[in-house]
Each structure stands twice: as C-alpha cells, then as structure tokens.
Amino acid sequence: MKNNRILFICDDNEISRQLREPLMIEGGYFVTFEESPKGGLAAFRQNVFDVVIFKPHILDLGSLGLIKELKGIDQDCVIIAFLDEDRLEIIEHLFNLGIYDFIIKPVNLEKLFFLIKKGIDLHNLLLTNRRFTQGLKEGNIALEKQNVMLARRIEDSTRNLTRLYEDLRSTYMRTIKVLAQAIDARDHYTHSHSENVAKYATIIALEMGLSAKEVEVIRQACELHDLGKIGVEDSILMKPGALTDEEWLQIRKHPTIGAQILEPLTFLNDVIDLVRQHHEHYDGGGYPEGRKGEDILLGARIINLADAYEAMCSPRSYRKIPFTKEAAVDEIKKNSGTQFDPKVVEVFLGVLDKI
Ligand SMILES: [Fe+2]
Ligand SMILES: [Fe+2]
C-alpha cells in the first residue's frame, strides 16, 4: 500500500510532538514536520504531498499568506487548517483563501484521520482530473495540428485539382482552336477568318460596355463559330459558283453541328449558345432557329455582324474580289434592322476606324 505524505507546518512543538506518533505509526503516513511557513514552503516546493496541515497564527493574519503561496505552487493542494479556537471570522477567511477543511484543539484523532483520508481522496481525484484534463488538452492540440495539416492537404489538393482543371480546360481550348483553324485553312480564302471575326467582335463588344467575362465568351465563340463546317463537304465550301438549294441546306447546318461538337464541354455552355445563334438575323430571317430581335443573344448579334463584315472584306471562292471597305459598310447599313441589330450597327460604325 502506498504511504501518503503529509506536510505538517506548526510552530508549536508540543502539538507536533503529540501528533507525530499517531500520524506516523497509527496512520502510517510519511509526515514532514516544519516549524515555519518559510520551511514549509521550501519542503512543499521539493516534494509532493497529499495533504498539508497548517497551524496559522490567528492573531497574525500575515502568516495566512502561506495558503496563497501553497496554492500558487499547486492549485490542487489540499490544506487542512489547525486552529487553537473556534473563531468564525477567521474560519470564513481561511475558506476564502482555499483551505479544504479545519480542525480545532483539542485534537480529536478520529476526526483528524477522517479529514486526512477525505483530503487524500480529494487530492487523488484532483490529480486524476488534472491528468485527464491535461490529456484532453494534449489530445486537442494534437487534433488541432492534425486539422491544420488536413486543411493544408485539402487546400493543396484543391489547388492541384484547380490547376489540373485549368490545364485540361486550356488543352481543350487549344485543341478546339486548332481544329477551328484547320477548318478555316481548308479553304485558303477563309484563312484567319475566325481570328479576324474575333478581333472585330471584341472591339464592338468592348465599345458596347460588356463585361470582361462577356467579351471573353464572345471572343472564344468567334474562334469556334464555324467549327461545324467540319461537317460540310469541301466541294460545297469551296464551290466557285452559286450554291444549289440542297447545298445551302448543308451550309445552314454548320451552327448546329458546331454546337453539337462542343456540347460535351459544359464549361463552354455560354460559348456554345453563341456558336448556335451566330447566323440568326435580327428580323427572324436567319438560321437555324429563325430567332428574332432580342431573342437572339447580344453576343450572337455582334458576331453575326463581325462575321459578315469579315466575309465581305475578304476574297471568297465564289467572289474573288472583296468588297471595298466603303461598299461593305454600305451593305451593313442597308441590312441594319433586317439582318443586323441596328444598335450593333451603330456601335460598329462608331468604331470603324479601330477596325
Ligand atoms: Fe458561320
Ligand atoms: Fe464565319
């Protein structure tokens, strides 16, 4: 069985002498006797005690500072005060300072042993609680560290995923762009067509005050707008003469084919809508859906004009000599309100110098 340790601080040697034997022999405690608060404090600093029994000078309240100091060293220390007489005001003060209990002369040994045993039980409980709390605190710190590490890993993974997604996105974009350029290059007359359309449409969109994001969507749509021509035979695309009705039917499919090719790329949804609508006319006479006025996306109305202007200003298989700039502008003015949105035409005329 473990021998519990008691620190007995008392300047009355008579009392110490009387209690030495009962405490050490009968009680089986290891008892350290100290005469002064100073000696008691020194012993307390060097050893672990289950209980401290302290006999303060009732007339010297300054000596009660010892309780405070003991509590400062170990806030869980169990202190039993040993008093010469029953004085309520000092007992209340002692409890306020943190004593566990008190005993009054003459000493009732049975009561003293009972108090010591209760005090030891309490001290053990407090120590267990302290270890448990400490364990919890350490566990919490470890958990917090793990949380921080996990958060960092998640952050890193998210960053990597975002980068991968961006890489994938730009790879897709580059691939499609190459494909669109290949379509333009099939016919040497339409070489750089999409690139020029993108340039004109971007100038108009910026002038119309569209947001940077909207302008970018329009620019991407321009690069891809004729992608669907991949589904139209070369003989039709490069035909030097007038097209038959059947051949026109083929040509008119290219906005839908382009949109269908791009459809799986959901991040291009806004772009796809513009590709599908780039041949709609303001008066409803366009294709493939015959949309009218504001029912056609503004981006598509802008691309339609830029596309037509670019086509007029470049040689074509069916028209070797391109329109002059003036003739092309006249043609656009003539078709304002029918093929073209008048508002877009107005802005276009205002930025002609830049184009
Ligand atoms: Fe087109
Ligand atoms: Fe085009």
pLDDT at 355: 79
Q: Which ligand is nearest to the CA of 311?
A: 2
Q: What is the distance, to the nearest Å, from the Cα of residue 197 to the centroid of all Cα atoms in its chain? A: 40
CB 332 within 8 A of CB 345: yes
- Terminal CA-CA length for the chain: 100
Counts for the chain of helices (H) and strands (E), in that order: 14, 5
CB 224 within 8 A of CB 183: no
Residue 177 falls in the annotated catalytic set: no
Q: How far is the CA of 80 from the centre of ligand 1 (A)?
A: 98
DSSP sequence for 113-138: HHHHHHHHHHHHHHHHHHHHHHHHHH
**How far apart are alpha carbons 68 and 64 in whole angstroms?**
7
- Catalytic annotation, pick one of 229, 292, 325, 343: 229
Q: What is the DSSP letter of 351?
A: T
Predicted structure pTM score: 0.60
Q: How far is the CA of 281 from the centre of ligand 2 (A)?
A: 14
Of 199, 138, 169, 188, nearest to 266 by C-alpha is: 169
Which amino acid does the sequence have at 214?
A: E
What is the signed CA dihedral for 82, 87, 88, 94, rounded to 10 degrees?
-40
Q: How far is the CA of 300 from the centre of ligand 1 (A)?
A: 11
Q: Which class for 289: exposed (0-12), middle (13-18), buried (19 or more C-beta within 10 A)?
A: middle
**How far apart are alpha carbons 138 and 143 in whole angstroms?**
8
Q: Hey, is 4 helix, strand or coil?
A: coil
pLDDT at 58: 55
DSSP sequence for 218-273: HHHHHHHTTGGGGGS-HHHHT-SSPPPHHHHHHHTTHHHHHHHHHTT-GGGHHHHH
Q: Which ligand is nearest to the CA of 187?
A: 2
pLDDT at 231: 84
Please give the domain boundaries of the chain with CATH numbers for all domains. Answer: 5-133 (3.40.50.2300), 187-350 (1.10.3210.10)
Q: Which class for 135: exposed (0-12), middle (13-18), buried (19 or more C-beta within 10 A)?
A: exposed
pLDDT at 179: 79
Kindly report, residue by residue over 80-118, the tens digit of the pLDDT: 998 887 676 788 888 988 899 999 888 889 999 999 999
pLDDT at 59: 54
Take residue 60 and report the two structure tokens written for it: 């010297």
Kindly report, residue by residue over 260-284, the tens digit of the pLDDT: 999 988 889 999 999 999 999 999 9
pLDDT at 60: 63
Q: Which ligand is nearest to the CA of 287?
A: 1
Q: Which class for 204: exposed (0-12), middle (13-18), buried (19 or more C-beta within 10 A)?
A: buried
CB 310 within 8 A of CB 193: yes
Stretches in the chain below the pLDDT threshold 50 = 1
The secondary structure element, H or E, covering residue 34 is strand 30-34
Q: How far is the CA of 265 from the centre of ligand 2 (A)?
A: 21
Task: Please say whether the dihedral angle defined by the alpha carbons of residues 343, 349, 352 and 355, taken in this order, is positive or negative.
Answer: positive
DSSP sequence for 51-113: EEEE---TT-GGGGHHHHHHHHH-TT-EEEEEESS--HHHHHHHHHHT--EEEESSP-HHHHH
Share of residues in the chain with pLDDT > 90 (%): 65
Angle at 37 between CA 33 and CA 43, to 5 degrees: 55
Task: Please say whether the dihedral angle defined by the alpha carbons of residues 79, 80, 84 and 89, taken in this order, is positive or negative.
Answer: positive
Q: How far is the CA of 354 from the centre of ligand 1 (A)?
A: 23
Tally of CB atoms within 10 A around 213: 9
Which amino acid does the sequence have at 76?
A: D
Q: Which ligand is nearest to the CA of 256?
A: 1
Tally of CB atoms within 10 A around 216: 15
Q: How far is the CA of 255 from the centre of ligand 1 (A)?
A: 6
Q: How far is the CA of 224 from the centre of ligand 2 (A)?
A: 9
